[in-house]
Amino acid sequence: MSDSASDSAVLNPEQKVPALSELFTGFLAISLSGFGGVLPWARRMLVERRGWLSEREFAETLAFCQFLPGANIVNMAIIVGSRFHGAAGALTAFAGLVGVPLLIMLACGALYLHFGEFEMLRGALAGLAAAAAGLIVAMAIKMALPLVQERRVSAILFALAAFAAVGLLRLPLYWVVLVLAPLSMVWCYWRPR
Amino acid sequence: MNENPIFSLALHIALLSLVAVGGVASIVPELHRQTVELSGVLTEQQFADLFAIGQAAPGPNVLFVTLIGWQLAGFPGAALATAAITVPTCTITYFVSRVWERFKYARWRIAMQKGAVSVTIGFVAASALLIARAADQNLTAFGITAATAAIALWGRMNPLWALAAAAGLGLAGAV
């Protein structure tokens, strides 16, 4: 890809517009292949296989999704869907992404409700829960590392304050967000380093 | 008034979704506080179990709240909880994406994101502490947590294998 081509960030003029059914199957495929981390699969599907986004558009869309509340991949489905087909596209992409996992989740929930106390399953769940805890520990470390490496002292302090307030003091998250987030944002605005 | 706790929980989920930057991980502490500590509708163990299932199943991790809804009120509860976690944020995304180009590079926008990220990291770390405390009742479980974290951080394989291995160990009665 040449630089001049990637400079036209907004819409690739020769891009074909996918039909609603294609949006649905595209995001369905993403949701099902996304065991243990959906985003790499989303990139492969949206950029490489279907060509709905350029490499750069994908990166920019992801940055946007990370800015907004909610799961990144859900936001991405809304953005990509609405870009091609407005509200109908957003709903279709969302349904494709969430529909089947939702059914699987319901089946798991039903199984858990009925068999969750079975001796054998208890053991498996205990092991699974311990591993799932490991995933989120890793996620916290992965997110915190750049702050430490770049020695962003104020950001580290805000993270520690949020951790202490919610994790150690068990304060309601609402109050912690209302106090810490604006402070942290204002701090970043005036002291960008 | 003896109404099902799912209604007040759905309201909390909808509110919390608005600050769930990056997904469900940052709001786990408050979900835990609401369901385990305040109302007691879930036990510590159930919370850890449901979180684990939500991580192991395919699809966006916000569907963890679907499981909580299902546990509290069956299918309607699952539908309500899912709507609560997705509808507000999807609506915001839909409308903000139309004006995003205008403020993409604005200084206040970048400051907002940077500021939110540091607080979010603290919340995710708090989630990690809570979930680990609920799930790690013995040394073996603690070892599994540490090993999975290490694999997810530095390993080259899909961490799903670690989940499968841990479930296998548990099935064999080792945890």
pTM for the full model? 0.88
Chain length of chain A: 193
Instruction: Give CA B37 to chain center in angstroms.
Output: 16
Residue A4 has pLDDT above 70, yes or no: no
Distance (Å) from the alpha carbon of B6 to chain A's nearest alpha carbon: 15
B18, closest residue in chain A (CA to CA) = A69
Inter-chain contact A185–B132, Cβ cutoff 8 Å? Answer: no
C-beta atoms of B120 and A78 within 8 A:
no
- Note the residue count of chain B: 175
Question: Measured at the alpha carbon of residue A12, what is the angle toward residues A10 and A15, in degrees to the nearest 5?
Answer: 135
Any domain includes A159: no
Please check whether residue A141 lies inside any domain of the structure: no
A39 in B contact zone (CB under 8 Å): no
Three-state secondary-structure class, residue B130: helix
Q: Is the distance from CB of A23 to CB of A93 less than 8 angstroms?
A: yes
Structural domains counted in chain A:
1
Is A172 within a domain? no
Helices (H), chain A: 3-7, 20-33, 39-43, 55-67, 72-115, 119-149, 153-163, 173-190
Q: What DSSP state is assigned to residue A9? A: -
Per-residue pLDDT reduced to its tens digit, A20-75: 999 999 999 998 876 556 777 888 889 999 999 999 899 889 888 988 999 889 99
Residue A166 in any domain: the answer is no
Answer whether residue A134 is part of any domain.
Answer: no
ipTM rounded to 2 decimals: 0.90
User: Residue ranges per domain, chain B?
Assistant: 5-106
A131 occurs within a structural domain: no
CA angle B145, B148, B152 (to 5 degrees): 140
Closest Cα in chain A, distance from residue B5 (Å): 17
Domain with A33 in it: 3-122
Q: Is residue A140 part of a domain?
A: no
Residue of A nearest to B96 (CA): A68
Contact residues on chain B for A71, CB-CB shorter than 8 A: 20, 22-24, 60-62, 89
Contact A131 B145 (CB under 8 A): yes
**Residue A183's pLDDT band (boundaries 50, 70, 90)?**
very high
Nearest-CB residue to B97 (from A82, A94, A132): A82
Q: What pLDDT is attached to residue A170? A: 93
C-alpha B5/C-alpha B117 separation (Å) is: 31
User: What percentage of residues in chain B have a pLDDT greater than 70?
Assistant: 99
CA distance B52 to A126: 9
Q: Domain for residue A176, yes or no?
A: no
